[in-house]
Structure 1
């Protein structure tokens, strides 16, 4: 009996050791898999900007979202109506598809809506008939222009946005609209018989108000991923300076409109899978003039102007020569520029803040990043920093 007990204990010890080694091996493999993960890099390109799309460097980009398609008579359409005085052309989409010769894995989508063209969403989502009409038009648009999918940028369900129609029914109807579009894209693939999976994605607001008006726990069933617009926290509605894309809350959190961390948390807490979320990065800044100056303490101060948008390419060169001094908010992990002579404040993104955001994105388990928009950084300063950090 004693010998049997000894043999039994020896067997248990051997089994435990093998199990431990197996667990160690699995952990090592998991870590290796994580380090080799391919993150999404979703680039919005504005069709209304005077930019040569054939010059886009797609070596580090996985998806391009062309902005924008419109909604007319309840249908998603490619619209030649001008935005900011610039027209859009179907040739843009052909040029973007041509970039696949440089990157065969590139996906090209058209984004419907945006701030200016979201007026038709609520009506298009209102009934089963209207949703089917809209969904069919989305599939047709994808098919006609040989696209890889469609991105819906409704700004915003059950909110007025830029003077849009909105209803409390938007909350449920948005889910049903996404379901209808998903079904029509799948039907398109089946009809064509090419076994292609057409992508359906959305852009989302970064605050809790947006999340409270969308069924986050339901919509993920129909989406491949979403892109959170984690920018414009301080924007063109504010005559007070502030960070427009800070990773964390500043020291004086009472002044912060939002943060990247909070935006991710409210999405995940509402039921959207973290592994299907892309973090938004702005390739532009927000500029305030006539800012109150108290010993160069200019963050969260009154200004004479609102926070207008300004392309990164329009201010980043010769910052010091132009009279700006760069400051770093250690709590918010965000930079800003200040010119005492011009009394001008700029909130923006730079290489250091991108490093912190990418590190956070990896640790949090997100799918990748999105940025708005390519032509604002045509020298690729921010894009190169982004791709470099993602490869680490």
Structure 2
């Protein structure tokens, strides 16, 4: 497991979506599926975050069983949606628009379309005709599934495995021929299942060579079809005992890579939804419990109706690196900005071709999309440049999951850190251990720092003001950070015996009596340096840039065992 003791990205603050946007690198795809039925729910294509995406796949076209041609099942609405998508592309010319064929409900006749050379020719020509008629850039085939599986009534043949390759090659040939004629690129992609069962049903290497990319559906690893409540898309496989099969996003990626797929051909798909399981047992907060019913729930609904409700306890699985909720007899598996960033970090670390999402209407404010996209860009913050004195430190703490951007592509190095944020950083550094109830009157347990402050207080790492308050929103001072790190080092059993003389600093008399030993240790350890005019500024505010530098020094100190070779 990568960095098992640490979590990946954490968005400490949220800024309005109007913050500056930087388009993704041209060699990385950011793909979003938009479902036709979303327009009936009031989410029309013109509302989609075109500036954040490289490809939009319109889902779904079906296959006419009579002649294996593409079929719009709601022609009037579909045509209007496609018109709005083209208008969105006019505003964002980098966008590529693809028609996605199939999906769970509309894959019934893929086997027929692939069965003979004549049928494959008809299907391929129909795909090209559809693109030209509607002004699209490509086609995405979502066959669920060749050989076996899929919905009731699905047509299967044992030859589907080989015929799928032949079908793709027929479409590829049509698109390439048209591209030579009009000088435009046309794209061919597929959506691929996350397990070995799917890979055994296709000719993996031949498929990968034929398509521009494979959208890996790395979600629904667990769901309502299981016997037990479980995590929808765990990044890594938990090592704890489970009553059912175990797998993960990481395992799915490795399956494809081990089958010889070029990593640049893989786009890591992520869910913008979760699952709610009702009637679960309270043991283990509902995880691995039997349940009475379950249903999909969009992130928007989760954010609006669950995440700010005190009756639902926020939990985080440190190994799987995904959040979940428990309350009122319900277990909810979902994604948050932190878990999405962690998945993107995996995609980046593995050299994958990009990331993608099902389904765009479920994240109206692009909260999850922005977090995932920013992580894919490798922490390329628009306000942190190579050569800045804090550049290396910002990249370090971002990579360790201690700090991330305040919004997509923005770090805000000059913004002060508050006390609540500092507790969260140390809590994440420790691997997000469980915490008891809050002991402070001004810290809400369900707030972003509730568990962190409770844990840190229980370990003696943080304290309050003596009147029952902690002051989570109060600006963190240099001496307060020194004290928190000193106490955390004590908690970890590190050597904190070092003391530097502070008498040479002109403002040493301003150091609080509670902070004296910690400041002496922090200066002795090289964590905090004095200013050129021999001041320590113990009560000065800590900026995000300064915090990043101090945290990097702390993590790389020899007594932590993490110092660089």
TM over 0.5: yes
Q: 2:163 aligns with which of 140, 152, 173?
A: 173
CA offsets 1:54-85 (integer angstroms, 9 cap, x no match): 11121110000000000002434241349xxx
Structure 1 equivalent of residue 324 of structure 2? 336
Structure 2 equivalent of residue 98 of structure 1? 87
- C-alpha distance in 2, partners of 1:242/1:256? 10
**Aligned 1:16-95 pairs, distance under 5 A:** 38-49=27-38, 50=40, 51-72=43-64, 73-81=66-74, 88-95=77-84
Structure 2 equivalent of residue 32 of structure 1? none
Structure 2 equivalent of residue 300 of structure 1? 288
- C-alpha distance in 1, partners of 2:333/2:69? 35
- C-alpha distance in 2, partners of 1:364/1:77? 36
Structure 2 equivalent of residue 204 of structure 1? 192
**Aligned 1:265-304 pairs, distance under 5 A:** 265-294=254-283, 296-304=284-292
Structure 2 equivalent of residue 372 of structure 1? 358
Partner SS, residue 209 of structure 2: coil
Distance 1:366 1:253, change over 3 A: farther
- C-alpha distance in 1, partners of 2:226/2:218? 17
Q: Displacement, 1:101?
A: 2.4
Q: 2:296 aligns with which of 304, 309, 318?
A: 309
- C-alpha distance in 1, partners of 2:132/2:220? 34
Distance 1:61 1:223, change over 3 A: same
- C-alpha distance in 2, partners of 1:366/1:63? 16
Q: Displacement, 1:39?
A: 2.1
Check if 1:183 corresponds to 2:159.
no
Partner SS, residue 267 of structure 1: helix
Structure 2 equivalent of residue 238 of structure 1? 226
Q: Which structure has the bigger radius of gyration?
A: 2
Q: 2:101 aligns with which of 112, 115, 120?
A: 112
CA offsets 1:29-57 (integer angstroms, 9 cap, x no match): xxxxxx96742110100011222211112
- Give the conservation status (yes or no) of the 8 Å contact 2:343–2:372: no
Partner SS, residue 125 of structure 1: helix
Q: CA RMSD in A?
A: 1.8
- C-alpha distance in 1, partners of 2:334/2:198? 23
- Give the conservation status (yes or no) of the 8 Å contact 1:78–1:90: no
CA offsets 1:152-199 (integer angstroms, 9 cap, x no match): 000011113002111110000000000000011122223xx3211200
Higher relative strand content? 1
Q: Displacement, 1:273?
A: 1.1
- C-alpha distance in 1, partners of 2:371/2:156? 39
Structure 1 equivalent of residue 372 of structure 2? 386
Distance 1:239 1:287, change over 3 A: farther
- Give the conservation status (yes or no) of the 8 Å contact 1:251–1:332: no
- Give the conservation status (yes or no) of the 8 Å contact 2:233–2:248: yes
Q: 2:215 aligns with which of 219, 227, 234?
A: 227
Check if 1:356 corresponds to 2:348.
no
State the TM-score, normalizing by the size of structure 1.
0.85
Structure 2 equivalent of residue 128 of structure 1? 117
Gaps of 5+ in 1: 1-34
Q: Displacement, 1:272?
A: 1.6
- C-alpha distance in 2, partners of 1:256/1:59? 39
Which consecutive segments of 4 or more residues in structure 1 shift more than 3 A? 35-38, 253-257
- Give the conservation status (yes or no) of the 8 Å contact 2:68–2:112: no
State the TM-score, normalizing by the size of structure 2.
0.60
Q: Displacement, 1:355?
A: 1.7
